[in-house]
């Protein structure tokens, strides 16, 4: 465990908790966290996770904009739900992205877990996109991904990060509950 990993983990807890509370400050704090984690993952040869953090940086900016200026009146997005077709489409995109990235990582790098890391990356991008759009379905997807991430990080001796993702899992359960109870979702 490094000081960098510790600081990034602490920022991660704050960012995800603020997300549950629908506080737009989750995005700039999350931006700092993902930039720090890109270095942590590079150091342990989880290249897909490293690239994921770089993409997350862009998604943090997108999410911040959506939450503060998105929506029809530019007053920020409200919690909403996806239809079955949109869910299936998002998961299909995650699956195809996972296969393409996994093949690239397995063929061209010395990645520690190219296929698993790529699958987690592909579906995390879907979950992050849904989160930026305040889709309630982001939470069950995050729960599933976070549980698998815990195992991967234990395998890579990133115990603090594994603990962070265990905390993320608990927070995601709370996020799912709170967003399902949001009056905007119930009114839709």
| CA of residue 107 relative to chain centroid, distance | 25
DSSP-derived secondary structure letter, 109:
S
CA distance 139 to 91: 14
pLDDT confidence band for 150 (50 / 70 / 90): very high
Mean pLDDT of 137-144: 98
pLDDT, residue 173, reads: 97
Mean pLDDT of 156-162: 89
CA distance 34 to 128: 12
Start-to-end CA distance of the chain, whole Å, equals 45
Burial per residue of 85-112, b for 16 or more beta-carbon CB atoms within 10 angstroms, e otherwise: eebeebeeebeebbeebbeebeeeeebb
Please list, in sequence order, all residues whose beta carbon lies within 8 angstroms of the beta carbon of residue 13, skipping any fewer than 6 positions away: 164, 167, 168, 171
pTM equals 0.85
50-99 pLDDT, tens digit per residue, is: 988 999 999 999 999 988 886 566 567 889 999 999 999 999 999 999 99
CA distance 165 to 186: 29
CA distance 63 to 56: 10
Compute the mean pLDDT over every residue in the chain, rounded to the nearest whole number: 91
CA distance 101 to 115: 8
Residue with tokens 């995650």: 94
pLDDT confidence band for 163 (50 / 70 / 90): very high
pLDDT, residue 52, reads: 84
Residue with tokens 């465990």: 1
CA distance 153 to 157: 6
Kindly tell me if the per-residue pLDDT of 181 is higher than 60: yes
> Among the residues of 21-158, which ranges form H helices?
26-43, 47-69, 84-108, 114-132, 138-155
Q: Which helix (H) or strand (E) element contains residue 61?
A: helix 47-69
CA distance 71 to 91: 24
Mean pLDDT of 27-56: 91
Mean pLDDT of 161-185: 92
95-119 pLDDT, tens digit per residue, is: 999 999 999 999 998 888 899 999 9
Determine the longest span between alpha carbons in the chain, in angstroms.
Answer: 50
């Amino acid at each position: 465990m490094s000081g960098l990993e510790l600081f990034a983990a602490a920022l991660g807890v704050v960012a995800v908790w603020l997300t549950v509370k629908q506080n737009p400050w989750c995005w700039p704090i999350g931006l700092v966290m993902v930039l720090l984690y890109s270095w942590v993952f590079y150091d342990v040869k989880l290249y897909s996770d490293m690239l994921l953090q770089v993409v997350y940086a862009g998604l943090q900016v997108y999410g911040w904009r959506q939450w503060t200026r998105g929506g029809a009146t530019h007053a920020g997005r409200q919690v909403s739900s996806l239809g079955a077709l949109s869910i299936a489409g998002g998961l299909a995109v995650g699956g195809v992205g996972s296969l393409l990235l996994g093949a690239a990582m397995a063929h061209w790098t010395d990645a520690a877990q190219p296929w698993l890391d790529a699958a987690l990356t592909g579906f995390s991008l879907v979950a992050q996109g849904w989160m930026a759009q305040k889709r309630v379905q982001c939470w069950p997807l995050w729960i599933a991904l976070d549980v698998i991430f815990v195992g991967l990080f234990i395998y890579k001796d990133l115990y603090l990060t594994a603990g962070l993702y265990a905390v993320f899992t608990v927070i995601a359960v709370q996020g799912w509950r709170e967003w399902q109870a949001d009056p905007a979702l119930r009114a839709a």
